[in-house]
């Protein structure tokens, strides 16, 4: 700091100290009472959840989880996932079918590819 700034701060401090000593005791008492009343009012008010910094990470994580859940629900259309009628039942039925398990064990990929292609074309393939 420069000498000029130090001199300014010293004069400002002297002026403030002088103004405090010029105020009589009665005014200082009233100012102190008003200050104490204001502090008591601030302390009596219930704190908002946003004023609790310890809860902000948890609130942020919860908000992120809600957004992810909404993204998954919004992306699930009538032709996706379990939203198809009976899709869950068909999946369970395929898993419980013993013949289907044999087909999977004796994998013939070319047949399944042909069957999918024929089904997409709408033809019987015969």
Q: Which residues contact 84 (CB under 8 A, 6 or more apart)?
A: 78
Residue 5 confidence (pLDDT): 87
Host domain of residue 111:
86-126
Average pLDDT over residues 89-114: 69
Contact 36, 29 (CB under 8 A): no
Does residue 63 lie in a domain region? no
Which residue, among 49, 46, 47, 69, has the nearest Cα to 59 in the 3D structure? 49
pTM, two decimal places:
0.28
Report yes or no on 21 lying in a domain: yes
Q: Could you tell me if residue 64 is inside a domain?
A: no
Residue 98 resides in a domain: yes
Q: Look at residue 123 and tell me if it is in a domain.
A: yes
Q: Is residue 61 part of a domain?
A: no
Its sign, for the CA torsion 32, 38, 41, 42, is negative
What average pLDDT score do residues 27-52 get? 81
Q: Is residue 50 part of a domain?
A: no
pLDDT for res 60:
84
The count of domains in the chain is 2
Asked if the structure places residue 54 within a domain, the reply is no
List pLDDT tens digits, range 19-33.
877 888 888 889 889
């Amino acid at each position: 700091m420069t000498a000029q700034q130090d001199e300014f701060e010293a004069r400002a401090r002297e002026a403030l100290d002088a103004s405090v000593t010029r105020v009589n005791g009665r005014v200082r008492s009233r100012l102190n009472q008003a200050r104490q009343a204001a502090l008591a009012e601030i302390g009596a008010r219930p704190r908002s959840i946003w004023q609790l910094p310890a809860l902000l990470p948890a609130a942020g994580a919860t908000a992120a989880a809600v957004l992810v859940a909404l993204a998954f629900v919004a992306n699930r259309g009538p032709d996706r996932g379990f939203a198809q009628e009976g899709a869950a039942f068909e999946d369970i039925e395929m898993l419980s079918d013993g013949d289907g398990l044999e087909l999977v064990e004796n994998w013939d990929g070319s047949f399944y590819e042909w069957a999918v292609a024929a089904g997409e074309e709408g033809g019987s393939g015969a």
